[in-house]
Every structure is written in structure tokens, then in C-alpha cells.
Structure 1
Amino acid sequence: MKKLTVLFLLALITFDSNGQIDTISTSNGDVIIQPILHGSLVLSWNDQTVYIDPYGGAEKFAGIKSPSLILITDIHGDHLNQKTLDGLNTERSTFIVPQAVKNKLPDAMKSRSMAIANGQTVVFEDLEILAVPMYNLPETPDSRHTKGRGNGYVLSIGGKRIYISGDTEDIPEMRNLKNIDVAFVCMNLPYTMDVDQAASAVIEFKPTIVYPYHYRGKGGLSDVESFKNQVEAAVSTEVRLRSWYPN
């Protein structure tokens, strides 16, 4: 058993190219969190490997177990990245996506995809996935992210609730979230929200841990240190800064 444990840890080190892996304990095993790039990350839990918005090229996922589940939040190329998907082994993957994303998938992937809308919940193996709104304010027909087109997600894993914001502003639905253990919150202008908006929203819904992610915009990288200082001065939420843009 000890030898198997050592081999497992070595395997984690193999695919932890940026020294960024975190472990979240649950009532049914640990969730391994690995940032990949921008809004892309991998969650590993027991026998499940979940890719979220795979982006940046298949080489970014070298050494990581092929996905059993792929979650995609929106149609934009940094979320639905067909080139990256085509380079991955997704033959046994289930896709959970918004309808707008399913419409754009090639037939082979579309046949293994399930479209869910804001407010809907599905269960994959022992993992519960709730689709939540993500959109820009004010709500306009020509918004970069219109309400209902994309999904944020709340994943319930072994009694822990993990929130993936997708591309959103500090909408009421995010501020009203309850009992979030881990949150991934975006902050890049002009596509989502600024650092102050993101900090204000997090201070309101108070996740136990928050990762600022998706923080590269037209002006460069957002000031995540300012985000961390604002949040940790106001609430007990732990802000974890990780390298989402490795050289």
C-alpha cells in the first residue's frame, strides 16, 4: 500500500508542471485541483477526471489522465476551444455544456454531450452539477455574454461545493450563492468584471477558498494582489493565488 501511495504521488508530480496542485479534502476522498491556463483547470476525484474549459492546446494536459467529464461554460474560443479538444483523447468523455456550445460541437462530440440550462442539475457518477447564470451587466442583446447563453457551474463533490464562475460580472445570482467551499472567480476587462467588483461579490457570498482565475484582459493581467488584500481584509475567505499564465 505504501508503494502504491508513493507511485500515486509521483504521478501527481509528473503532471504538476507549474507546482500548482492543491488538494481539497471531502467526505469521500480528496479533490485534486490543477490550474492549466486562463479559465481552464482540471479536477481529479477518485476515478473521475474533470476538464473545465480545456484551452491552450492539448500539450497543456500532457501527463494528465484523459477526461471522464468535460464541462464547457461558453462558446468563446477561450472556453470552447475546438483545436484543444481535437488534440485530447475524449473518446470516453461525457460533455456537459450549454445548448449554444452543443450546437457548435462536431457530431462525434455532440453525440456524447448533454445540454443543460441555468438552474438545471444533473448527476454524473457521484458528482452533482448545477448550471448557474453567467452574464454581463447591463443585460443587452449585444452583450458579450448574454444571460442564459452560457453556464457557470456549482459542483457538489463529497459534500464540498465548488463554484466555477465562467465569464460573468458580479451578478445577483453570484452574490446570492450559499455554502461555497471553493470558488474560481474571473476578473478581466472588458469581458467580465474588474478586481473591485470581483472582490465585492466574493466578500458578499464568502466562499471558504477563492482562486482568482481568468484574469488576463486587454490591459494585461489583473491586479490579483489587490483582490486578495480586499477580500482577506473583509472576510475569512482564503485567497489562493496560482500561476494561470506560465511562461
Structure 2
Amino acid sequence: MPSTLVLDNVEITWLGHASFLIKGSKVIYIDPFVLPSSPEKADYILVTHDHYDHCDAEKIKQVRKDSTIIISSKAAAEKIQAQVVMKPGDVYKHGIEVEAVPAYNVDKFRSPDMPFHPKGAGLGFVVEIDGKRIYHAGDTDNITEMHELHRIDAALMPVGGTYTMTASEAGEAAAVIKPKFLIPMHYRSDKYGLQLDNDISPLAKALAGKGIVLKVLEPVA
């Protein structure tokens, strides 16, 4: 099973969990909690929120160089010295285009009235590089704001449940977003000490006949 989806000149590699490497004219990491053994340096690092399995300062040091631009939510920025702090609706344009979009829970709670991911605390990102639009959903449920997304070439969506969408919920969200490709993430995370639902068969069932290609990747690390 491959670890990379190639869209013309853009490569999307699943490193594991919610960590991705996007390579085209620039090198972009998103939530680099998982890295390969000899990672290349980043032009951009995007961090969706401040939880340890997405915002890892030591891993960021491994791929950061003097010119690296770090883009993150406000809470994450305080941990990783991000130069660009975003909130939903913000757009960054410099070499690539990054739009921050909402990511939050509506029915996943750590305690009554306390969601794992409160509204406003975390982000998803729509990244445009070399003519391709890639949506990294962050840690989220199927939320109404997803209806506003458009022209997505590849959607990277959590499917493991407990803290994020389940596989079937991700399928329902994808049916609205209508990406060309859907890459499941935030599952198969046992090796990182996270117990999530690894059965994505409901996702395949939900996408049947929708014209969306389910691209299941093998984690690099």
C-alpha cells in the first residue's frame, strides 16, 4: 500500500496519525507529531491545535530551518513560536495560500459540556499549492461550516472516532464537501499510544457511488 498520493506535481504523504508532508514547489508539514527517520526541512509548518499529538515542539525543531514559516492556532502558537497566528476565516498568502477554517466537536465530550475540541480553539486548513487545493480537517466533527468548502482536490479527514468524526461521519461530511480524493487519518494510531477505531469500512460504504476516490495510505512511521 502506498504512503503517497500524487496529484500532478504535488505529493501528499501520510506520515501517521494526523501528520502529513505535502511537497510541490514548497515543502509543507501539517501537525508533525510523526516524522520519518531523516525528515527534510520545511518551508512551512502548519499546526491545527495545541494537543500534544498535533503540536510537538521537539518534532518541529527537527524540520524547522531559519526561513521556515510556522502557521498555527493561537493556543499552539504559544508553544511553538509560530510567526503566523490564524483564526477561522483568515487567509495567508506568501508562496502558498492557507485558509484557516473551523474545527471543533459537537458530540464528542471529555465531560458534560466540555468537548475535547471546543469551538474556536482549533483549526482546519485549506492549503493551495501549485494549483491544488488540499483540506486538512484537523480534529473535528462533521460541522455545518464544511458546507462552505469548495474545489477540494484532496480532503484529509479524521475517522477514528472518540475525539473526532467516526468513519461513517467522515463519509457524510465528504458527501457535502465533494473532494476528488479522501485520505483517512487520525486512526491506526496504536503505535503512538492512542486507541482509536481502525475500521474504515463504514467510510467506503458511505462514499459508494458519490464520485469520491477513497485513497487509503500506509503511514510512513
Q: TM-score, normalised by structure 1?
A: 0.79
The one-letter code sitting in structure 1 at the alignment partner of 2:170 is: A
Higher percent of residues as strand: 2
Instruction: Give deviations 1:19-51, integer Å, cap 9, x for gaps.
Output: 4222112xxxx11111101000100112x1001
In 2, the alpha carbon distance for the partners of 1:245 and 1:114 equals: 28
Work out whether 1:95 is the aligned partner of 2:70.
yes
What's the counterpart of residue 134 of structure 1? 103
Identity of aligned residues (%): 28
Instruction: Give deviations 1:130-164, integer Å, cap 9, x for gaps.
Output: 00000000598622111111110001223321100
Larger Rg: 1
What's the counterpart of residue 29 of structure 2? 51
The one-letter code sitting in structure 2 at the alignment partner of 1:148 is: G
Check whether the contact 2:152–2:178 (CA below 8 A) recurs between aligned residues. yes
SS at match of 2:114: coil
Q: Which runs of 5+ in 2 are unaligned?
A: none
| Deviation (angstroms), 1:188 | 1.9
What's the counterpart of residue 159 of structure 1? 131
Q: Which one of 139, 157, 165 corresponds to residue 185 of structure 1?
A: 157
Instruction: Give deviations 1:58-87, integer Å, cap 9, x for gaps.
Output: xx3334420010000010011101231233
Higher percent of residues as helix: 1
Work out whether 1:113 is the aligned partner of 2:83.
yes
Provide closer, same or farther for how the CA distance between residues 173 and 243 of structure 1 changes in structure 2, counting only shifts above 3 A: same
In 2, the alpha carbon distance for the partners of 1:175 and 1:201 equals: 8
Work out whether 1:41 is the aligned partner of 2:20.
yes
Instruction: Give deviations 1:208-242, integer Å, cap 9, x for gaps.
Output: 111011124765442123312320x1300000001
In 2, the alpha carbon distance for the partners of 1:102 and 1:141 equals: 26
Q: Which runs of 5+ in 1 are unaligned?
A: 1-17
In 2, the alpha carbon distance for the partners of 1:171 and 1:19 equals: 30
Structure 1 segment 203-218 matched on structure 2, within 5 A: 203-216=175-188
Provide closer, same or farther for how the CA distance between residues 224 and 130 of structure 1 changes in structure 2, counting only shifts above 3 A: same
Q: For CA contacts below 8 A with separation 6 or more, give which structure has more relative contact order.
A: 2
Work out whether 1:65 is the aligned partner of 2:40.
yes
